[in-house]
Structure 1
Amino acid sequence: MLKRKYGNRHDWQRITKRRYAQSFLDAESFKGYITLIDMVKVREPLWITYENRELCLVDDGYMWLQQFPFGKNHMVTTTFDWEGNIVQWYIDICHEYGTDKGIPTIDDLFLDIVALPTGEVYLLDEDELEEALATNVINQEIYDLAWAEAERLLKEIKEGIFELFDIADLHKKMLEPTLESSV
């Protein structure tokens, strides 16, 4: 079964106090949902290492902007530190997105892409996609869709034409005034 991820990350216990906002946009530059999670207080920071680079992805005052582009097989999470600097872009390859009680969701297809502001790009979790195919969690058609989407996105990132990176800060600024406290 595919893992479902929610735009509000309501199930993530690491965040003890948060504010949340979401909106649906229908503009020429972007059509789909955008969400913003303000991590007011967290139990403990989350650090991750890519090769020899250690990055903090979750801490008090960090924000995650998520972009759910309509009709696409990916969702982008932009991590902002407490000063508003972009730490990373994390792209979930997904089967499709929808909503559950008004909250945008994705069905995760295991493959992920991480892009750093320094230009480094990482493809993650290929082994998880292979295992999902081998254990019949997904079929060959879904497997091929995941790889095709990942390869297309990697090409766009390399060529500098992946537009969601360019509008992440704008989307964050649009949602910040509407942040509301939530559990």
Structure 2
Amino acid sequence: MRRNFEQKLNYSQIKDVDFRVSCINTEEFNGYVHLASIHKVSEAIFRSVDDKRIKIMDNEYKWLQITPLNANYNLITILDDEDQILQWEFHIIENNEADGKMSLMFEDLILSLLVLPNGIKKILGEEEIKKALYNNDINLCQYDKAYREIKILDQIVSIEKLITLSRGMLNNILGDCKPKNKLRCEA
């Protein structure tokens, strides 16, 4: 199982990026929102989905990561240089832990649900999770949990809800002018 941290973009093509982080604790949402504003890259990065190539990183793109506490997923919304949503990707996670410094660590259960604005949904990581189970990197309970969470998300996710959530969180974090070190969240 991989342990990942929010706020990290490990792409050598990134030449200039800044991060914003906010913790939101309301009736509607309790969790972390991270925004990576990618100002400059040495070359664009693409993802192939079936027979389509989707640009996922270029100059002035944004990656918005939404991680509700006490949930088994985090969501990355990728926006282009005109703030048009290009895709959403739900990463299934075992759990998440706040470190008290506005970053969040989580255990990645490998499976992801990719959702495109035209409604296409695709499960990613199926070969990798099978290999992880075979190699005892994850156990059968974690394997089953990952597939169970993917099925739930696949049934309840709608484009309208994703747009509303992503736009609301983007507006929230862009409107948040507090210094990073003064933000706090109840976990």
Work out whether the TM-score is over 0.5.
yes
Larger deviation: 95-104 or 73-82? Answer: 95-104
C-alpha spacing 1:67/1:117, structure 2 compared with 1 (3 Å): same
Measured after TM superposition, the shift of residue 106 of structure 1 is 2.0
Question: Equivalences for 1:142-157 in 2 at 5 Å?
Answer: 142-157=142-157
The RMSD of aligned alpha carbons is 2.0
User: TM-score with structure 1 length normalisation?
Assistant: 0.89
Question: Equivalences for 1:1-183 in 2 at 5 Å?
Answer: 2-9=1-8, 11-100=10-99, 101-157=101-157, 160=158, 163-178=161-176
Measured after TM superposition, the shift of residue 99 of structure 1 is 3.1
C-alpha spacing 1:162/1:6, structure 2 compared with 1 (3 Å): farther
User: TM-score with structure 2 length normalisation?
Assistant: 0.87
Unpaired runs of 5+ residues, structure 1, are: none
Runs of 4+ more than 4 Å apart: 161-165, 177-180
Measured after TM superposition, the shift of residue 105 of structure 1 is 2.4
- Please give the alpha-carbon distance, in whole angstroms, between the structure 2 residues aligned to 1:32 and 1:177: 17
Measured after TM superposition, the shift of residue 107 of structure 1 is 1.4
- Please give the alpha-carbon distance, in whole angstroms, between the structure 1 residues aligned to 2:172 and 2:12: 26
Unpaired runs of 5+ residues, structure 2, are: 180-187
- Please give the alpha-carbon distance, in whole angstroms, between the structure 1 residues aligned to 2:153 and 2:67: 15
C-alpha spacing 1:15/1:99, structure 2 compared with 1 (3 Å): farther
Deviations 1:142-181 (A, max 9, x none): 1111111111111112xx388455211111112124589x
Instruction: Please say if residues 23 and 102 of structure 2, whose CA atoms lie closer than 8 Å, have aligned partners that are also in contact.
Output: no
Q: SS at 2:151's partner residue? A: helix
- Please give the alpha-carbon distance, in whole angstroms, between the structure 2 residues aligned to 1:126 and 1:47: 20
Query: Identity over the aligned pairs, expressed in percent?
Result: 27
Residue 183 (structure 2) aligns with: none
Q: SS at 1:123's partner residue? A: strand
Instruction: Please say if residues 153 and 162 of structure 1, whose CA atoms lie closer than 8 Å, have aligned partners that are also in contact.
Output: no
| Amino acid aligned to 2:128 | E
Q: SS at 2:89's partner residue? A: strand
Larger deviation: 40-49 or 87-96? Answer: 40-49
Measured after TM superposition, the shift of residue 131 of structure 1 is 1.0
